[in-house]
Structure 1
Amino acid sequence: MNEGRAAEIVAAVGLTKRFGDTVALDDVSFAVEGPGLCAVLGPNGAGKTTLLDILLGLAEPTRGTFRLFGDAPRPYPRRRVGVVMQKEAQIERVTAREYAELFSAIYGVRGGEARILARARLEHRARTAVTRLSGGEAARLFIATAVVHDPALVFLDEPTAHLDPENKRLVGEMLREIAEERTLLMTTHDLREADALADRLLFLVGGRVRASGTKAELARAVPEAERRGLPVEDAFFHFCAIEIHEGQATRRGAAT
């Protein structure tokens, strides 16, 4: 992360999203500076994907507002934003090269297909159908495609879910490289991955923000007696009122 260049990239003020009687997001407020990688951490059902949908302009909040690059997103700044969804489109019989060519054309980037394949380390798999790529190869292709137009901000919804440790490592290296020059907001429920990759953290549980800040700030706030050695894990359990009992995570104060 480049020191001395921090600026507000994403900010939310009182974001609330209801689906009938279900509250998916409850008065969510936070700010993320960049460049760097911010991990949005929370269990399944925490509201992470709903939050991304709103920040991407794909859903309207029930209440509250958000800013991108310091301004209300009207019109939405599509050219400055990249996105990797949990389930990216995989068109039958389209090769990795054809996929890269398609999105280079959509973004209007001359020669973008070569940049995508090189960044994804897939030159040797250019003629392979996207549907036949391994999970790690496909993840790298989707990420490289999302940044081919040099966006300042990239949203990623659990980009390493279901990957094996070696492919998580390769994708993680790619994300750290990209985060040197732009801001990444990545949802995940993998505390160890966040510990390895993130500069900033946002803890989201039950649709509410439990804490946000730099990894170092949140780790320092954990009392010595609660530390077990992994800073992000310690901070998450502390701020989210979660304890470990006989290897199981439980809410603080719950019966064991």
Structure 2
Amino acid sequence: MDPVLVAENVVKRYGDAAALAGVSLTVGEGEVFALVGPNGAGKTTLVRCLTGTTTPDDGEVRLLGTDPRAARKQRVGLLPQDFSPPDRLTAGELVGYYAGLYDDPRDPAAVLREVGLDPEDDTWYGDLSGGQKRRACVAAALVNDPDVLFLDEPTTAVDPAGRRALWSVFEDLAAGGTTILLTTHDMAEAERLADRVALLSNGDVAATGTPGELVAAHGGPTRLVVDTDAEALPGFDPDVTDEGLVFADVAPEDIGDVVTALDAAGVDFEALSWREPTLEDAYLKLAGDVEHAGADGTVEVRR
């Protein structure tokens, strides 16, 4: 089966600056693919190329097997990062307007309820909270029941409870076969939703993999932090930090051995905490490697 989204050596320049410097990736049917990276890395430019709103200077992009500009719009949903509907529309009027652009849309009221909004609320869009505005925009992107959904920073300004509710909506869409390309700065969002994640930096892909693969390869070791003023522990080689003693690569079942050694050495401590590496740890490591790459832009972790 052909991939739903393809970018092959995509280059996009604005003047002398290369927003994209040869990006290649593929996204399969029903996959949730997350693009992460610092501001200015090229994420939004790549989305624009894949949706046909921007034409690459070089390389090739395909959406649903064709030029994005020729793809059937009924099958594509897009939530841009910057979306400013008229202030004097209710959320129901906004989503109803977009529903009217398609031949066989979903029921606008049902979509609004799905994203956590009351379809009967007559509050103007301009008077909604930031999170409510974003939910309304998500509903507008879903009302045509797309096969492919582009979400550019979809939960910006949404409160934590609302963010998790939208995550459930996106998970249900993916479970039903919708292909989702997501850009986000929220590593918890990427780690929960994405089947695969690509880190963009300086207009290129530094690494791609499942969240677990990226964490295993680049997230670093587990950390056991002991809140103490002590600067050593016999039989161990912890790092001495402002947090206290930090023990790397300690398995959960071995925490008791450290506690026993602390007691035996008479080391007082206030608390201890153990944590596994996360996608954010991997992201910070990869982003740092890219930032400190040589003049030719080569990074050892790139694949």
Structure 1 length-normalised TM: 0.84
Residue of structure 1 equivalent to 2:198: 202
Q: How does 1:109-188 map to 2 (within 5 A)?
A: 109=104, 112-123=107-118, 126-181=121-176, 182-188=178-184
| 1:17 positional shift | 0.6
Instruction: Tell me: higher relative CO, structure 1 or 2? Use CA pairs within 8 A at least 6 residues apart.
Output: 1
| 1:170 positional shift | 2.4
Q: Which protein is bigger by CA-based radius of gyration?
A: 2
Distance 1:50 1:110, change over 3 A: closer
Q: Distance in 1 between the 2:47 and 2:15 partners?
A: 19
**Helix, strand or coil: the match of 2:282?**
helix
What RMSD in Å do the two structures reach over aligned CA positions?
2.6
Report if the CA contact (8 A) 2:50-2:68 is conserved: no
What do residues 131-151 of structure 1 show as CA deviations (whole Å, max 9, x unaligned)? 222222222221122122221
Identity of aligned residues (%): 37
**Deviation larger for 28-37 or 224-233:** 224-233
Distance 1:242 1:110, change over 3 A: closer
| 1:224 positional shift | 5.2
Structure 2 length-normalised TM: 0.72
**Deviation larger for 66-75 or 155-164:** 66-75
What do residues 184-234 of structure 1 show as CA deviations (whole Å, max 9, x unaligned)? 111112222212222210110111101123223333333754886243223
| 1:241 positional shift | 4.2
1:236 and 2:232 correspond: no
Report if the CA contact (8 A) 2:106-2:145 is conserved: no
Report if the CA contact (8 A) 1:41-1:202 is conserved: yes
Counterpart residue identity of residue 173, structure 1: S
From 19, 37, 49, the counterpart of 1:54? 49
| 1:50 positional shift | 0.8
Counterpart residue identity of residue 201, structure 2: V
Residue of structure 1 equivalent to 2:103: 108
Counterpart residue identity of residue 206, structure 1: N
Number of aligned positions between the proteins:
242
Hey, which bits of structure 1, 4+ residues long, moved more than 6 A?
Answer: none
